Amino acid sequence: MKNAYRRPESALVVIYDCQCRVLVMQRQDDPDFWQSVTGTLEIGELAINTALREVKEETGIDIQQAGYYLYDHQQTNRYAIRDIWQHRYPPNTPFNTEHVFSLQVKSDEAITLTEHLAYQWLEKNAAMAKVWSDTNRAAIKDCVPDANMPT
């Protein structure tokens, strides 16, 4: 039987291309909320497996089949769960723990949305300005090379 509540632990995957443009996606349930790939760890699932699964589910990119490298930054963020999403988590669960990953893809990589309204490829600073969450902004800043730096 599936647990009715989400586990307060997730994976965040910042995807960027060979030109250091960052993929950001617009949520269906909150069109003002733009983000990188993110998803909840399922019971017994490791963060890296969540990252692999969520990238495939949300973008259509099969990291392993494409031969890409998913980089685990060995970094976790802790943030307050938004009030409008609190009902998804067990009672008295104020915080989520987020594991940070990044993925570089080819500049012509096809994106197939399944859970979002739209996507954009933005230069690093524009992506940082567009995403809603502070932890997503920090991950873009830390994980994506500057466009003039070799990747």
Which helix (DSSP H) or strand (DSSP E) does residue 63 occupy?
helix 63-66
Type of residue at 16: Y
Residues 6+ apart with CB under 8 A from 99: 9, 10, 11, 12, 41, 47, 50, 51, 72, 75, 76
Could you list the residue range(s) of the whole structural domain that residue 105 is in?
9-143
* 150 within some domain: no
Nearest to 136 by CA among 68, 66, 31, 34: 34
Domain count, the chain: 1
* 151 within some domain: no
* 60 within some domain: yes
Alpha carbon distance 19, 41 (integer Å) = 30
Q: By three-state DSSP, how is residue 6 classified?
A: coil
Output the CA torsion sign for 1, 49, 133, 18. negative
pTM: 0.91
The pLDDT score that the predictor gives to residue 35 is 97
CATH code where residue 105 lies: 3.90.79.10
The pLDDT score that the predictor gives to residue 1 is 44
* 27 within some domain: yes
Tell me the pLDDT of the chain (151 aa) as tens digits: 456 888 899 999 999 999 999 999 999 988 899 999 999 999 899 999 999 999 999 999 999 999 999 999 999 999 988 888 888 888 888 898 999 999 999 999 999 999 999 999 999 999 999 999 999 999 999 999 997 765 5
Q: By three-state DSSP, how is residue 54 classified?
A: helix
